[in-house]
Amino acid sequence: MQTIISDLNQKIVGDTVVDFWSDYQKAIKSKTLENFRREIKNKRIINVRRIGKNIFIDLSENKTLYIHLKMTGHLLVKPQITNHKSQNFSHPPTSSPIGRGRGEGAKNYFDDKVNQYIHHIFYLKTGRTLEFSDVRKFAKIVLDDTRKIKELKEIKALGMDALEKKFTLEKFGEILEKRKDAPVGTVLMEQEKISGIGNIYRSEILFEAGILPQRKASSISVKERIKLYNSIQKVLKKAIKLRGTSDSDYRDTAGAPGNFQKALKVYRRNGAKCKKCGIIITRVKMGQRSVFYCPRCQK
């Protein structure tokens, strides 16, 4: 997620949206496709930021494009199309826009299956495109005044981002205190408490901390709380350094997978041996989602 933000800041800030195309209007919230298209035209991209898993692209005229990628959304920055025919924006890509640009010999990640479910395209002044691939069509796009985006209930409800300075050990303690009856594995995933930790990272964080996901928040000692807090920082920072986890379908803005999946210690490793102690990794369900842990290393 942070990888996408950094990439977008490097690549598209300063560029201008000249047109927009979509074949899935349902993703565009509280606006018709035509209004959205009209309003995003000729807006310059000022800055890209995020809170947890929520992406904000600040535009000129105090507008903000708010995007949530959900499970399978990808934002892909594609180079200028070279041999294009005259473009008709009401019927854009006749087939999947694949095999564009990129030097010969280099792997073209845009050919990957998961990068080909393009449902929205932002056409940029430089001739490049910001293309939005989304297999499962869960992702959402909202365009409004920056001020109004900030006031959206789902944004207001967000807790502190796990990596911002404001999220201190003390704040973490307060959060655990308020959720004492809940399993710590559940609390880590609650975006309204701490934003930014998803299903992969909660398992990895708990393994790093040596704490079982089922443990009640109230049972976490001061020493364990410190360990857990430090594990959140450590795991997330390492994942960012490795450009994210592509165990399933995450991709960066060049369509390339991350590298953190090679460093996963427990996630989706059920039935395999723990890398630390050799015992078999267990999987359990917590709130409809799988959690993975080592029954020996985690207590």
Partner DNA sequence: AGTTGTGTTGAAGA
Partner DNA sequence: ATCTTCAACACAAC
> Least Å distance between CB 183 and DNA?
9
Provide the token pair at 277: 């102690």
Nearer to DNA, 169 or 272 (CB): 272
DSSP state, residue 58: E
> Least Å distance between CB 274 and DNA?
18
> Least Å distance between CB 164 and DNA?
16
Nearer to DNA, 24 or 44 (CB): 24
Which amino acid is residue 171, in one-letter code? Answer: K
Tell me the C-alpha to C-alpha distance, in Å, between residue 247 and each of 42, 145, 227, 256, 258: 37, 36, 26, 12, 9
| Spatial contact of 56 and 66, defined as CB atoms under 8 Å apart | yes
Exposed/middle/buried for residue 239 (C-beta within 10 Å: 0-12, 13-18, 19+) = buried
> Least Å distance between CB 166 and DNA?
19
Give dist(CA 14, CA 96) in Å, integer: 27
> Least Å distance between CB 35 and DNA?
21
Max CA distance (Å), the chain? 66
Nearer to DNA, 44 or 216 (CB): 216
Segment (H or E) for 33: helix 33-40
Catalog residues that contact DNA under the rule CB under 7 A: 1, 3, 26, 52-54, 68, 70-71, 113, 117, 135-138, 154, 157, 179, 181-182, 189, 191, 198-201, 239, 244-250, 258, 260, 268, 287-290
Nearer to DNA, 38 or 113 (CB): 113
> Least Å distance between CB 191 and DNA?
5
Nearer to DNA, 19 or 247 (CB): 247
Nearer to DNA, 43 or 115 (CB): 115
Nearer to DNA, 33 or 71 (CB): 71
Tell me the C-alpha to C-alpha distance, in Å, between residue 280 and each of 114, 135, 194, 213, 269: 31, 33, 30, 16, 9
Which DSSP string corresponds to 219-284? G--HHHHHHHHHHHHHHHHHHHHTT---SSS---TTS---SGGGG-SSTT-TTSBPTTT-PBPEEE
> Least Å distance between CB 158 and DNA?
8
